[in-house]
Amino acid sequence: DTAVSQTPKYLVTQMGNDKSIKCEQNLGHDTMYWYKQDSKKFLKIMFSYNNKELIINETVPNRFSPKSPDKAHLNLHINSLELGDSAVYFCASSLDPRDNEQFFGPGTRLTVL
Amino acid sequence: GEDVEQSLFLSVREGDSSVINCTYTDSSSTYLYWYKQEPGAGLQLLTYIFSNMDMKQDQRLTVLLNKKDKHLSLRIADTQTGDSAIYFCAESHQGGKLIFGQGTELSVKP
């Protein structure tokens, strides 16, 4: 009965490839987020969706495209992967944008070779 | 601007108290948070404090907020080896955006 789940847990790929990371939450939350954690553990928000609509879009290269097919899912597609994309990507969810109690998934460690 | 700062490392002995400090910049933040990240895991919300409070206590955890100095601290009483982790403070912004500090790695020695 995992609250926020992500797949895959590990992803190793070559530069230039396109890959997707999936996130699902079974908490009935309306808002979902993607964060990137770099090698120095610095954690930064990338996107936020509320009820399938984009509400936060930080300065992220347009190679990153989030997609929310429904409220319970927020997937992250990355085109033309670069070495600097190597990081741990965390999905999170909250009841709504005003509720800052965010529940985090276990993370996806992406390694670009 | 958006800037949350923490010291990177703290080492304590088991049974001692740990105090992790954080400074933030946005005085309009409604809530301030402490998250814990164990190795290889996601972030887990430990506690939070509403901006009109000075202190919040939750079992072994005490959060102190000094709004004038924009300073937040987390005190862990009777620190155990299981408390070893990275602790992040975060301030809330509009739309659910959280701005995190760099994280403080707490090492608890037996």
Model confidence at A30: pLDDT above 70: yes
Confidence of residue B2 (pLDDT cuts 50, 70, 90): low
Is residue A44 classed as helix, strand or coil in its secondary structure?
Answer: strand
Instruction: Summarize pLDDT for B14-71 with one digit per residue, the tens.
Output: 999 999 999 998 777 788 999 999 988 889 999 999 988 999 999 999 999 999 999 9
pLDDT, mean of residues A97-113: 89
Confidence of residue A41 (pLDDT cuts 50, 70, 90): confident
Hey, are the CB atoms on B103 and A56 less than 8 Å from each other? no
Residues of B in contact with A36 (CB under 8 A): none
Hey, are the CB atoms on B96 and A48 less than 8 Å from each other? yes
Let me know if A49 is exposed, middle or buried by CB neighbors in 10 A (0-12, 13-18, 19+): buried
Highest mean pLDDT among A4-18, A37-51, B32-46: A4-18
Hey, are the CB atoms on B96 and A97 less than 8 Å from each other? yes
Residues of A in contact with B28 (CB under 8 A): none
* Residue A25, pLDDT score: 97
Q: B45 CB near a chain A CB, below 8 Å?
A: yes
What share of chain A in percent tops pLDDT 70? Answer: 96
Hey, are the CB atoms on B42 and A104 less than 8 Å from each other? yes
State the smallest CA–CA distance between residue B79 and chain A in angstroms.
23
pLDDT, mean of residues B73-89: 96
Confidence of residue A29 (pLDDT cuts 50, 70, 90): very high
Report d(CA A37, CA B103) in Å as an integer.
11
State the smallest CA–CA distance between residue A11 and chain B in angstroms.
14
- To test the contact with chain B by mutation, choose from A7, A100, A103, A104 the residue with the greatest count of B C-beta atoms within 10 A, namely A100
Hey, are the CB atoms on B41 and A90 less than 8 Å from each other? no
Report d(CA B90, CA B101) in Å as an integer.
6
Model confidence at B1: pLDDT above 60: no
| CA-based nearest residue to B88, from A27, A37, A74, A108 | A37
Is residue A22 classed as helix, strand or coil in its secondary structure?
Answer: strand
CA dihedral over A49, A52, A53, A58, signed as positive or negative: positive
